[in-house]
Amino acid sequence: DAGVTQSPTHLIKTRGQQVTLRCSPKSGHDTVSWYQQALGQGPQFIFQYYEEEERQRGNFPDRFSGHQFPNYSSELNVNALLLGDSALYLCASSPGLESTSYEQYFGPGTRLTVT
Amino acid sequence: KQEVTQIPAALSVPEGENLVLNCSFTDSAIYNLQWFRQDPGKGLTSLLLIQSSQREQTSGRLNASLDKSSGRSTLYIAASQPGDSATYLCAVDDYKLSFGAGTTVTVRA
């Protein structure tokens, strides 16, 4: 059973560019959340997708957007990149609201460096 | 806004010693609390999940307690080993995870 997968592993972009990160959830999971982890800090919640809709959003600007596909995979898009967007981007999946367990499983992350 | 604090920020112990990691949170209206392990530059590995109705959860050498009323959780790791060296993060779930900054543990052989 494959766990949560993310691509790419590493990415280097220039200020002002746009980036797309991808995530495939664990088998049987239909809810995907995205987190940003700056160096030395805990992850910060960006947003969560369920049934192809954004259900919740953290304190991130509109430059951060996402999408969930019918197969539950998800993309995170960041426009007009800033140096401060350099971080490890983590994707987590969990069973849907019908489940009694809300345990979240994380992928290996995508390391984004903005120069 | 939920605030999660982990104390201490770093810990260094000799092999075999028991570890005690603390986590506190400000809003007790949570669904569950999860402890994670993170190795440098890697993703998060779930260690234990304690649902809001539970007081503790155990897995092997790991035991985590939850006191919702006081906003505290403690992770105990018995008989530490060098392989336990990592950053340990706690996260409270109120439909999204709010994380502490973590405790970085070094177990000296």
Which positions in chain A touch B102 (Cβ < 8 Å)? 42
> Is the predicted pLDDT of residue A97 greater than 90, yes or no?
no
pLDDT band, very low/low/confident/very high, at A1 (cuts 50, 70, 90): low
> Is the predicted pLDDT of residue A101 greater than 80, yes or no?
no
Q: Pick from A70, A58, A83: which is nearest to A30 by CA?
A: A70
DSSP string for A57-103: E-S--TTEEEEE-TTS-EEEEE-S--GGG-EEEEEEEE--TTSS---
* Number of other residues whose CB lies within 10 A of the CB of residue B12: 12
DSSP code at position A41: S
* Mean pLDDT within A22-50: 94
Residues 6+ positions from B40 with CB-CB distance below 8 Å = B87
Mean pLDDT of chain A: 93
Tell me if chain B has a CB within 8 Å of the CB of A86: no
Let me know: does B85 contact B39? Beta carbons within 8 Å: no
H, E, C per residue of A4-23: CEEECCEEEECCCCCEEEEE
Q: Render each residue's pLDDT in chain B as its tens digit; 109 residues.
A: 899 999 999 999 999 999 999 999 999 888 899 999 999 989 999 999 998 899 999 999 999 999 999 999 999 999 999 999 999 999 999 878 999 999 999 999 9
* Mean pLDDT within A14-19: 98
The pLDDT value recorded for residue B1 is 87
Residues 6+ positions from B17 with CB-CB distance below 8 Å = B80, B107
Beta-sheet strand order (sheet of B19-25): B4-7, B19-25, B72-77, B62-67, B56-59
Measured CA to CA, the distance from residue B47 to residue A57 in angstroms comes to: 26
Q: In B, what residues contact A, Cβ < 8 A?
A: 4, 31-32, 34, 36, 41-46, 49, 89, 91, 93, 95-102
Tell me if chain B has a CB within 8 Å of the CB of A94: no
Measured CA to CA, the distance from residue A50 to residue A33 in angstroms comes to: 9
> Is the predicted pLDDT of residue A13 greater than 70, yes or no?
yes
Which residues 63-82 of A have a C-beta within 8 angstroms of B?
Answer: none
* Residue A111 to residue B4, Cβ atoms within 8 A: no
